[in-house]
Amino acid sequence: MSTGVKPPILIVDDEPDVLFSLKALLRHDFELYTAESGDEALTILSQHPVHVIMTDQRMPGMTGVELMNHARAQYPATVRIVFTGYADIKAVVQAINSGGLFRYITKPWDPDDLIETLHLAAKRYEEKSARAQFAADVKAFVSDAMTLIQSTVGSEFADDVASLIGRAERISIQADTLPQEPTG
Amino acid sequence: MNVLLAEDSLTMRRLLASQLQGWNYGVTEANDGAEAWELFQNSHFSLVLTDWVMPGMDGLELIRRIRESKHKEYVYILLLTTRSANENLVEAMEAGADDFLAKPCNPKELRVRLRAGERIIELERTLIRQNTRLKQAQAALVQSEKLAGLGQLAAGMAHEINNPISYVFNNLSVLQRDTQAVMKLLERLEPCLPLLRQADPEQGQQLTAAMTACDVPWLQENLPKLFESMQDGLARVRRIVSNLRDFAHLDEALWDNMDVVGALESTVSILAAELESRQLTVDLQADDRPMIHCQPAKIKQVFHGILMNAIQASAAHDLVKIRVSQVKSFVTVEFTDEGAGMDKVTQQRLFEPFYTTHPVGAGQGLGLAISYGIVKQHSGTIDFTTKPGEGSTFRVKLPITAWAPAKSRTATV
C-alpha cells in the first residue's frame, strides 16, 4: 500500500456469489483475479503475476489443498491462504503443518479481519521477493566483480585470485539457499 | 393375596372364608352378585371366587361385568356351582370364568386350583412388567433415532446455510462502507446546489427536487440504524447455525482430562449473577474429585445448559442441588431443582432442537438438544425425572475414559 500499487490477488471459490461479494469488499485494496475452479486458477497463475492466492477448500474437481500443492510447486513465491466453511480441519491443518499455507480462514469470515490478513499476506510476499531480489543482486555483483578482477589483475596475484574465486562461489551458493520464508 | 368371595349361602360362605383364611388369603365377603360387583368396583381383586346361582345378579353376570370392566391387571375367576353338566361348563367358561369347581368342593382341590390361579396372576404381572419395560426401551430407541435424524438434518442445514450467510454478511459490510461513501458524496454535493442553480436554473431545480425526494436527512439518520439492525439479525442467525453445528458436533474440540467438581464450581460461578438475582442457593456435594477424559469445553457447556434450565425453572429462594458420584467407571452428576417440573409434552420433546417452553425468540430451544448430542458423543447418557409442581432432576452419566468415536455419520453429510 505504501507504494500505492495494489497487490495482485487471486481468489478461488466455486460459488460465484462468494467471488462477487469478495470483489466488492476488496476492490479498493487489491488488484483482483477470480477463478471458479482449481484449473481456472492455474491458468490465471500462468498468465498473471499473483502475489497472494486464497482458495475455498471444498470445490468440485480439485480441492483447495490440492490447488495449493500445485501452486506451491510451480509458483513458490506466491503466498497461500485456504478458507472454508467445513470443519474438515484435518486436511487444512496438514497443509499448514507441511509448510504450505500462510493462513486458514473460516467461513463466515469477518470482513475487516480478511482485509487485514490479505495485507499481511501481500507484505509477506514483498519480503520474500525482496530477499530473492537481494540474493540475485549479490550473485550478479560477485560474478561481475570476479570477471573484472580476472581480466585486469596480473599473473603474479594468481593465488589470491584463486582464493577470491573460491569465496565468490561460496557466496553465490549461499545467496541461492537463503531461506525464502522469514522464520517465526 | 386378597380374594373376593361371592356366595349367598351364609354357611357355605363362612366355611369357604375360614378355609381361605387358613391358607393365608385375605377374604372380602359378599352375599350376592350385586354386592360383589360393588366391592369389585371400589377396590381391585386379582382373585374372585363366586357362586353361580345367587338372587339378583348371579355369578355369570358378575363375571361378565368384571370382564367388561377392562381392568389393567388380569382377574382370575373361579366359579363354584352344583351344576356340573358339560353344557354348564361351556356356558360358564364362555362368560369368562377361568376355572369351574363343583360344590361341595374338596378343600384340597380348591386349594390347588387357587394356587394355579395365583401362578397365572403372577405370570400375568411379570408379562405386564416386561411389556412396560419393552415399551420404555422402544420409546427411548425412537427418541434416539429421531434425534440422530435431526442431527443429520441440522448438519446439512448448518452447512447449506453457512455459505450464503458468509457472502450476505460480507455484502452487508461492503454495502455499509460504500453507502457511507455515497452519503459523504451527497453531503459535499449539497453546498454546490446554489452554484448550480445560478449556472443552470433548470438543472439546479431538478437536482434540488431529486434531493428533496430522497429525504437526505432521514437517510443520514436512519441508514446506519438499518445496517446495525441487519448486522444484529445476521449475527443471531450465525449463532443459531453455530449452535446447530454443536448439536450435530460438526466441529471437533480438544480432548483432555477434566476435574468434574472443578468444572461444576466454575459453571456455578459463571452463573453467580443469575443465581443471585433469583436468590437461589446452590448446594454442590461430591463423594470425591473424579477426573474424566472428555472434551472439557463441551461438557462445561452441558453443565451450563442444565444449570441454566434449573435456574429458570426455580422460584425465588429455591435450592438447586448438584450431586457428583462415581460408580465403577462412570461419573454421575445430578442437578435437582425445586421448580415447576415439566408436563408430559415437554418431557417427550425436551431434547428436540428448537423445542422451547420460553416465548419464541427468548431462547432458541437448542440447549438440551446440544447437551444430548455432546453427552451421546462421549458415550454417556442424559436423562431426567420430573414431577409437576415438585421439580426436576437431570442426570448426566459420563464414562471416566470416553473414547472419541469414529467420525459420526452426521458429520459426513
Q: What is the pLDDT along chain B (413 residues), one digit of tens a residue?
A: 889 999 998 999 999 999 999 999 999 999 999 999 999 988 889 999 999 989 889 999 999 999 988 777 889 999 988 877 777 888 888 889 999 888 888 889 999 999 999 999 999 889 988 888 888 777 777 766 777 677 777 777 777 788 899 999 999 999 999 999 999 998 898 888 889 989 999 998 998 898 888 888 899 899 999 999 999 999 888 888 877 776 666 566 678 888 999 989 988 988 888 898 889 999 999 988 899 998 888 888 889 889 988 998 888 889 999 999 998 889 999 999 998 888 887 887 777 766 777 655 445 666 788 788 888 888 899 989 888 888 999 999 999 886 544 433 333 32
Chain B residues in contact with A109 (beta carbon < 8 A)? 166, 170
Pairing of strands A79-84, A103-106: parallel
- Yes or no, beta carbons of A21 and B250 under 8 Å apart: no
Q: Is the four-CA dihedral A81, A86, A88, A89 of positive or negative sign?
A: positive
Angstrom CA distances, A163 to A139, A144, A166, A168, A175, stand at: 17, 16, 5, 9, 19
- Binning pLDDT at 50, 70 and 90, where does residue A8 land? very high
E strand spans, A23-171: 31-35, 52-56, 79-84, 103-106
Tell me what pLDDT residue B409 has: 35
C-alpha to C-alpha distance for B387 and B98, rounded to whole angstroms = 40
**What pLDDT score does B256 carry?**
83
Q: Is B288 helix (H, G, I), strand (E, B) or coil?
A: coil
Of B159, B162, B174, the CB nearest to A25: B174
Interchain proximity A87–B174, CB inside 8 Å: no
Closest partner CB to A107 (pick from B163, B173, B250): B163
Residue A36 gets which letter from DSSP?
Answer: S
Residues of A in contact with B238 (CB under 8 A): 108
When scoring B161, B162, B163, B227 by the number of chain A Cβ atoms within 10 A, the one with the most, hence best to mutate, is B163
Q: How far apart are CA B189 and CA B184, in angstroms?
A: 9
Contact A108 B162 (CB under 8 A): yes
In the sheet that B281-286 helps form, which strands lie side by side, from edge to edge? B281-286, B319-327, B330-336, B391-399, B381-387
E-assigned strands of B221-377? 256-259, 281-286, 291-294, 319-327, 330-336
Contact criterion met (CB below 8 Å) for A7 and A125: yes
CA distance B308 to B268: 10
Q: Which cell numbers hold the place of B99?
A: 376355572
CA A170 to chain B, closest CA, distance in angstroms equals: 48
> Which stretches of chain B sit within 8 Å of chain A by CB?
159, 162-167, 169-171, 173-174, 178, 238, 245, 250-252, 411
- Chain B CA closest to residue A13: B163
Q: Are B48 and B4 in contact (CB under 8 A)?
A: yes
Going by pLDDT thresholds of 50, 70 and 90, the confidence category of residue A131 is confident
Whether residue A135 contacts residue A179, with contact meaning beta carbons closer than 8 Å, is answered with: no
Greatest CA separation found in chain A? 74
What is the 8-class DSSP label of residue B271?
A: T
| Residues whose CB is less than 8 angstroms from the CB of residue B78 and which lie 6 or more positions away in sequence, other chains included | B47, B48, B49, B50, B97, B98, B99, B100, B101, B113, B114, B117
Residue B6: all three cell numbers together: 361371592
More confident residue, A168 or B391: B391
- Kindly identify which residue of chain B lies nearest to residue A56, measuring between CA atoms: B163
Residue B191: DSSP 8-state: G
Which residues in chain B have Cβ-Cβ distances shorter than 8 Å to A112? 173
pLDDT of residue A67: 92
Closest residue in B to A88 (Cα–Cα): B251
Q: What is the mean pLDDT of chain A?
A: 85
C-alpha cell at B96: 369368562
DSSP structure class, residue B404: P
Residue of B nearest to A26 (CA): B174
Residues of A in contact with B162 (CB under 8 A): 85, 107-108
Evaluate whether B178 touches B382 at the Cβ level (below 8 Å): no
Query: Strand pairing of A52-56 and A8-12?
Result: parallel
Chain A residue with minimum CA distance to B169: A108
Nine cell digits for residue A147: 570477471
Question: What are the start-end ranges of the E strands in B260-306?
Answer: 281-286, 291-294
Residues of A in contact with B252 (CB under 8 A): 87, 89
B349-355 long-range Cβ contacts below 8 angstroms, 24+ apart: B350/B384, B351/B143, B351/B147, B351/B382, B352/B146, B352/B147, B352/B150, B353/B150, B353/B154, B353/B244, B353/B247
| ipTM surpasses cut 0.85 | no
Phi, psi of B83 (to 5 degrees): -75, 130
Q: How close is the nearest chain A Cα to the Cα of B217, in Å?
A: 27
Q: Report pLDDT for B360.
A: 53
Contact residues on chain B for A108, CB-CB shorter than 8 A:
162, 165-166, 169-170, 238
Mutate one of A15, A19, A21, A116 to test the B interface: name it (highest B CB count within 10 A): A21
* pLDDT for residue B358: 65
Contact between B166 and A89 using a beta-carbon 8 Å cutoff: no
Contact A75, A45 (CB under 8 A): yes
Q: How many helices (H) and strands (E) does chain B have?
A: 13, 12
CA distance B337 to B178: 53
Place of cell 469414529: B406
Q: CA–CA separation, A167 vs A160, rounded Å?
A: 11
Q: Tell me which chain A residues have a C-beta less than 8 angstroms from the C-beta of B166.
A: 18, 21, 85, 107-109
pLDDT at residue A178 in the model: 66
